[in-house]
Every structure is written in C-alpha cells, then in structure tokens.
Chain A
C-alpha cells in the first residue's frame, strides 16, 4: 500500500498541484513513446517514467531567475520548468515551432526565458556549465541558484570530480541533484562504482549532501526546499542523492537484458503518482470526480500539444547556416561547397562552411 513519508499529506490543494505536475510528465512521456513507435519522433528518446517525483519536487523550490542544467532525459524537467508541451513535442518532430527550431531534438531542449540551459547528451557534460553559471552569479553578487541534474552514471566521469571540487573550493551557489536510478544505461551501479553510496562521495568535498527517497514527491520537495534556501543564502554548494527508478528501458531500443522484470515490478509498486494519489484519497483529499477531471485536463493538454506539433513546419534549409555564428557571413569569400566557381562569382554570401 502507498507509504508516504510519516507526516502524510498536509495541504490538499498543493498536493493536487504536485499530482497534476507528475501526471503531466507521465502522459507526455507515454505519448512520446507512442509517437516514436509511429516514427513521428526519430533519433534517440529517453523517457522519465518513474522518476517524475524528482523533477516535480525540485522545481517547486526554484524561483524564476534561477537556472537549470539537465541531461538527455530532460522532457519532464523542461515541462515542469514551464516550457510548453507543444514546444517540446514540436522540437521532437523536428519542426521550426519547437523550442529550438527543431535543431536540438529530444536530447537538447533549451529555453532562454526560463533559464533552462538544456539537455546535454554528453554524460556529466553539463556539470561544469552549472558551476560556471554559479560562478557568474557569485562574481556579480546575485542571489540566484543554479540546479544541476545528472544521473549516477555521471559520478564516474572526471568532470564530476572537477566540478564538485571547483564548486566547493569557490563556495559557488549550485545545487547538485543526482537522480540515482540504479542503472547507467545497461550497467548497474554496483558494477561501475567502488563506493556506491553517492551522497557519501559528495561529502568528501565537504559539500553537505542528503540521500532522499526519490519516489516520495513530498520528501523530495522538502529536501530540495531546504537545500535551495541554504544555497541561496550563501551556504555554498549542496548535493541531493535522489533514489529513484525508471520503469521503462534506458531508451527506445533497449531490450532491458541487464535487469530482472521482477525488480521493475517491485519498484512499480511505489509508483510516485500512485503513492501520492493513494495518500490523498486516504486523507479524503481526492474525490473521484476531481481525479477524473484532473486526468481529463492532462489528456487535453497533451492532445493539444500533439496537434501543435503535427501542424508544425520544417525550418527552411536556407536558415541552416544561421546561428553558427551570431548572424554574420561566416566566411567572407568561400562559397561553401566551393567547386570551380569562377573568380568573379566567388564573392557569394557566406554559407555553411563547406
């Protein structure tokens, strides 16, 4: 049966909000899988099903001026950081209406308005960026926090050590959030780390670090709130190890040979959405019609988003060379694919570098 952290659900309206947030992510990811199967979404797709409580809980603690750096499993983070579901799906359709004009795709969602510094397909590639964003805030004397999400797989990368050390050395306002879902693609934690207690690793840099039940959205929200406040008030970097589990494969083409079905089933019994839903119903805070209405709202949001993505348009190929540099001809004379262009035609406009 659902077991939330001891004090159970306090404020019904807020709990409803958290439930809605998690359900929005769940339905968005389920739709992504369906659209991928129908070959509408291509490339790689990594879904967040099972880990929704982490994003929902941490995002509650952030202010609009804070910054977020995430990984290639970032649809949920983007959605809950207020990037619209339509812009996210259109991006995965490769359409110009996507949040990055169709250039980033599932693994590279960015949004300047919400300071969402995006997906990053290189494991741990985002950690130094987060440190730098925090460095800028500290040097400019701003009270902003940068949150950096990464999986336990990143802990094995050199950049994890370098970033943690820099953040601690310079007491930078960054919150490290390690989403420990036990598997780095096909490698279980025990087969990649000598020391598997992630929070203990962080403590070695004298960064205060807590392990949190990543399936309990209230626990996550409470821990994240305390950590963000400490960071914002100059308490230096903080580290959360959020123990969670992904119910689906690493990505769309993973036959999941590395783990037992029984383990998946066992974790699914603590589905973060069912946990909160059960607790609220137990506390009489979620009448059937509210729950039905909430699901209908979410389904409507998702189908509107699909419509938006379907009606999107491809970015004109003529725009391809824009934003390689900040809008000026990249190379004065060279006409891109060159060839034996006559000399006088050589002054063609700059193009994508051939």
Chain B
C-alpha cells in the first residue's frame, strides 16, 4: 500500500460520474476546492457509490441522514483528496434505501446511526441494531426527525 490512488481533479470525478449515471444524476456541482456534491434518486444511490468505488475511491468518511422537511436525504461522503457527497432523496412515507455496507464496510456503524436517529431503513444491512441510544429509548422514536421536539427548547 503506497500512496493514495484516487482521482484528484473535481472535474474528472464529475465527468466520470456523469458517464456512469447519465440521466439519473439529478444535480451535480463543484462546491469549492475538493468538494463535489451530486444528487441522485434513491434507486441510483448504490449505483453512484459503486461507480465511485470503481473510480478508485476506497475511503468512506461518513453517511449522513438529513430530515429535509418533506423528505429524507441520505448522504454518503466518499474520498480522501476530493470529498464527494452523494445525496440520495428518500420519501418520508417510505423511508428505505439500499445499504452500501458491502461496498464500503466502514458504513456499518454510520448506517446504524442514521437508522437510529432518523428511522431510515437500510436494506441489506447485516445488523441494524441499537448502538448509540440507551436501551430504554422507546422504539419508533427517532430523535433527529424534525417532529421530535425537545423538552427545554429555548426560543
């Protein structure tokens, strides 16, 4: 293992993602140095992540779940030099998305966290169990959802 063999130019990453995904790429932009944001629908989330892996990205930084009001978003942050954020849109009434644990084993804990905090179900995850919240936490209550209010929220 010597050096990091990843694409280093944002344009190249964007170009190759466009080739791999074509029409499925809903939005793609370069946001500053070494930052690429792409948006796909949930069916193509896995495809995009696999495309990145095949491009030479072997590092997964994090998986973020976002409650964006009318929908959930799952964001996979991939890459060492160029940080590519692959954003997938997930409808609220059917919060399911394909797991990427088999592509990036590092997603194991990150997806568990997103599931616990937002209730997004990752299909194909080997062990979607409690990790962060206490055992006494009521099932089906997802603290990072917007409808979950805190007791002492100040104005």
Do A and B belong to a common assembly? Answer: no
B residues near A, CB below 8 A? Answer: none
